[in-house]
Structure 1
């Protein structure tokens, strides 16, 4: 897992087979800007060699924060470093904890009807319409039923899903039940559960995990974690958890100095002013709140170290703070 402190970019203009090429590659380092520049030059020369050998090559590294598909580490400002645990500031200004081996999974609440329920409602409305049309000889009833099924089926499915969720105790109870079922299937697990603004966060305390391993990916899937997050874990070789509020949830305008880190020197002052205002406002909020712990109670020292850092940054035990 790499969240480098220093970044640079190298450019190479060339011609090949009668065509002009401008190749750009990023370089990175935890040592110095000079080392990052040397790495960028090394990578752009490697791209040039590929062009000469194969006749074509990707022109640029795309400027996005998570670019594991192109072999790039996370492009974010490093705010703090605790051994190999990195606190970075993401593209919209919130702080994120990045760890190479302690598993986090955010699970959003979902009250939307599944495709199966929507299809069942559609088929039921259509079936009733067909039956009425056959019994009465009024073919227009089937046409009317088809229109109702198409236009109203999803709404009916949503209402039925919402009713079912309420009867089961609400979205949080359902999410907790899903996690409890995972623990029942894997009794060696020890999972700490936190409440986030839109769901739950799970922290595995019993063991460390390699993010790209089948074991970690299977656990993320069982917990119901976002597939995009699971891919990020695999590509970037790390787990992540947001540990400060989202700006728009605390009345702070979105950061106007956007784009991948590092920003241009002339824009640093504006970015720093935004960060200062954001951090003042963030003092009144928590990123998540501790709910419960499930499983074996086995704790690895590595996970405990990360938990203390996470809980302190998120301010999980101050019940007076609003989640954001």
Structure 2
């Protein structure tokens, strides 16, 4: 996994061919030491300065998935086969949520487009064919006997047809949950890969899958093909390749629990910044206590859970409150 432990910022200034001074900074990360991170940042500053001086401008802005994310490492899980690269790490992302990064536990998040997020509406109930004056007659304070006489002139009431039964929903889901299209893709995949085993989770805006029958590498061509076939976000697929890890958010997005975004960004440049962040974390943790990040639905496939994946499945389910039945956030 390429999850930097240390980050360093370097600043510089360069002059364009037109004589305009430009100030800029860059961040670079390292797993080895702050000194290496600083050295990498200085090298990057030099490259950017050369581009500006040559009139080439800044490189196109890096976006999500183009390089390792600048996130605080909260906890690492050492790998038996490597003293440096961990088997997993929990990081805090740019908006303060905790994220599980895994080298071999294959997570796939699938967002559902808004148009596909609700079940189809039921057909409107056909209107009754009774005479329109029946409504007026029924509203009048007259004895029932007189109302029966009205049938001579208005004809009998036609009862409204019974409402159609609710549409069937997949086992484990409730009306309004992400619907059939992503599940159909997954079931088709499992039908052609029966030896796989996949845990299915419901998320706030879609679904999450955890492949449990075997470890996988994020850079493997089969993994990339699987994620594409199952509808994973292309940016997520690219980030998995860059960081050499899979990702699964463990805690709610703050705006879904009525908490503002963090007041500072990582790395914290002063002690006051870090203290401000820790105070924010306490508010966020308190607000998140009654919400789940995903809910377990079912397991598909005939494969058996691999012992190397089991600890991370257990950690994920505990941290996300996947079996709690709490509201999603």
Q: TM-score, normalised by structure 1?
A: 0.70
Task: Name the SS of the counterpart of 1:34 in structure 2.
Answer: helix
Q: Could you say if the C-alpha distance between residues 269 and 112 of structure 1 is closer, same or farther in structure 2, counting changes exceeding 3 Å?
A: same
Aligned to 2:226: 219
| Residue-pair matches, total | 266
Between the aligned partners of 1:24 and 1:60, the Cα distance in structure 2 is: 13
Between the aligned partners of 2:43 and 2:13, the Cα distance in structure 1 is: 15
Choose between structure 1 and 2: higher helix proportion: 1
Q: Could you say if the C-alpha distance between residues 176 and 18 of structure 1 is closer, same or farther in structure 2, counting changes exceeding 3 Å?
A: closer
Per-residue deviation, 1:224: 1.9
Per-residue deviation, 1:244: 0.7
Per-residue deviation, 1:242: 0.6
* Larger mean Cα displacement after TM superposition, 202-211 or 16-25: 16-25
Aligned to 2:110: 107
Per-residue deviation, 1:91: 1.5
Query: Structure 1 stretches of 5 or more lacking a match?
Result: 114-162
Whether 1:187 and 2:194 are equivalent positions in the alignment is yes
Per-residue deviation, 1:76: 1.0
Whether 1:81 and 2:76 are equivalent positions in the alignment is yes
Aligned to 1:292: 298
Matches within 5 A, 1:13-28: 13-14=13-14, 22=23, 24-28=25-29
Between the aligned partners of 2:6 and 2:61, the Cα distance in structure 1 is: 17
Task: Name the SS of the counterpart of 2:26 in structure 1.
Answer: strand
What is the RMSD of the two structures over their aligned residues, measured on CA atoms? 3.1
Whether 1:2 and 2:2 are equivalent positions in the alignment is yes
Between the aligned partners of 2:204 and 2:14, the Cα distance in structure 1 is: 51
Render the CA deviation track for 1:59-110: whole Å, top value 9, x for unaligned. 479586x352xxx311111111112211111111111111233221122344
Per-residue deviation, 1:238: 2.1
Answer yes or no: is the 8 Å Cα contact 2:5–2:31 preserved in 1: yes
Q: For the pair shown, which has the larger CA radius of gyration, 1 or 2?
A: 2
Q: TM-score, normalised by structure 2?
A: 0.69
Aligned to 2:243: 236
Aligned to 1:131: none
Aligned to 2:312: 306
Task: Name the SS of the counterpart of 2:309 in structure 1.
Answer: helix
Q: Could you say if the C-alpha distance between residues 186 and 50 of structure 1 is closer, same or farther in structure 2, counting changes exceeding 3 Å?
A: same
